[in-house]
Amino acid sequence: MRRWLALAALCASLPLLHTAWAAELDPALPAPVRVGPPPSPAPAVGVDMQRTWRSPFALPKLPTEQVRLAVGVSAKTPLFGERRECAVALSNPEVSFFDRTGKETHRARFGVSPAQRPPVRTSNGDIALLTGEPAVIFLSNEGRVLSRTRLPRHFGNQAGESLTLSPGLDGGVIVTGDAEMMLVDAHGAVRLSTRLPHGERVFGPPLRTNDGLLLGTAHGALYRVSASRDPQLVGRFGGMLVGAPALLGEHTVVAQVAMGRVVALDLQSGSATTHHADLFPV
């Protein structure tokens, strides 16, 4: 009797099992495409539709250590120069300079608050720092403080997690934090200060175009910023961003959206096109 009851229960569950595992592919979905070189040769980057987890790119040879720098804990990512020299923002308000052999040549102290982000190289060759005051500080390669620009205390959040620092034109830098953006020139003067509409938050570094700067937001919007007017909405990607936007040619911006989609936004029409849809997120 128990055997017949078990057999009857198994037969009754077969339709449910079929429903749970059966899936139909929509032919209208776009085929996946790769845009640009892979970020790394790791197998996870080369996941294909068959889910073999195999990459067509050969793994690199085992790295060999050439130089080791003693920079302490919580130091920022090194900023390298053309001759393999580098500058490292330390956990205290100092920058340490090393030559190509790894020998420390000199240090520069720039204030009372350490750097919140790794230093960047400006277009005229100087070094720019974003500190926790918050402030933007320009240093020469010899370690001399060239200028210091204090930002409003409310700029970005208190932890500095939303602050970004990017090189601008003519030796200046672009600073973003939460919903704000500021353009600081090489002399430390603020040339542009703007704020996105209420509820928006900057996501990723700004993108430079001939028509001004582009700012992506966490909610999937793209705004054009210029000195002559308030931020203008270009279009929407159709979902929350999980990857920073990037320029693809002169008229297209691509970004990774939630649920494994890569969406392209046309800068002229504002229309969004899905270039990749991951049916089985991993």
The residues, ordered by sequence, that sit 6+ positions from 35 with a Cβ below 8 Å of its Cβ are: 248, 254, 262, 275
Mean pLDDT of 94-108: 93
Q: Confirm whether pTM is higher than 0.85.
A: no
The per-residue pLDDT for range 65-82, each reduced to its tens digit, is 778 888 888 899 999 988
Q: How confident is the model at residue 170, as a pLDDT? A: 86
Which DSSP symbol is given to 39? Answer: S
Give strand pairing partners of 281: none
Cα–Cα distances (Å) from 188 to 74, 122, 129, 166, in that order, read 27, 13, 12, 15
First to last CA, the chain: 44
Q: Output the average pLDDT for the chain.
A: 78
Q: Which residue has the higher pLDDT, 279 or 175?
A: 175
The per-residue pLDDT for range 12-33, each reduced to its tens digit, is 444 444 333 333 444 444 445 4
Q: Within a 13 Å sphere around the CA of 36, how many CA atoms are in the beta-carbon half?
A: 11
- Single-letter amino acid code for the residue at 34: R
pLDDT of 96 > 90? The answer is yes
Q: How confident is the model at residue 17, as a pLDDT? A: 41
Please give the backbone phi and psi of residue 45, each rounded to the nearest 5 degrees, phi first. Answer: -75, -30
pLDDT of 244 > 60? The answer is yes
Which DSSP symbol is given to 108? Answer: E
Q: How confident is the model at residue 19, as a pLDDT? A: 38
The residues, ordered by sequence, that sit 6+ positions from 110 with a Cβ below 8 Å of its Cβ are: 93, 94, 95, 129, 131, 137, 139, 145, 148
Banded model confidence at residue 205, pLDDT cuts 50, 70, 90: confident
Q: How confident is the model at residue 177, as a pLDDT? A: 85
pLDDT of 176 > 60? The answer is yes
Q: Which residue has the higher pLDDT, 98 or 72?
A: 98
Q: Is the dihedral of CA 249, 205, 70, 147 positive or negative?
A: positive
Q: How confident is the model at residue 11, as a pLDDT? A: 47
Mean pLDDT of 205-212: 86
pLDDT of 259 > 80? The answer is no
Q: How confident is the model at residue 156, as a pLDDT? A: 62
Banded model confidence at residue 40, pLDDT cuts 50, 70, 90: very low
Give strand pairing partners of 212: 209
Q: Which residue has the higher pLDDT, 36 or 233?
A: 233
Both tokens assigned to 186 = 């090489």
Cα–Cα distance, 29 to 276 (Å, whole number) = 8
Q: Cβ distance 207 to 190 under 8 Å?
A: no
Q: How confident is the model at residue 56, as a pLDDT? A: 56
Q: How confident is the model at residue 60, as a pLDDT? A: 65
- Single-letter amino acid code for the residue at 68: R
Q: How confident is the model at residue 215, as a pLDDT? A: 93
Q: How confident is the model at residue 63, as a pLDDT? A: 72
pLDDT of 114 > 60? The answer is yes
Banded model confidence at residue 4, pLDDT cuts 50, 70, 90: very low
Which DSSP symbol is given to 37? Answer: S
Q: Which residue has the higher pLDDT, 55 or 92?
A: 92
Q: How confident is the model at residue 61, as a pLDDT? A: 72
pLDDT of 225 > 50? The answer is yes
The per-residue pLDDT for range 214-224, each reduced to its tens digit, is 999 999 999 99
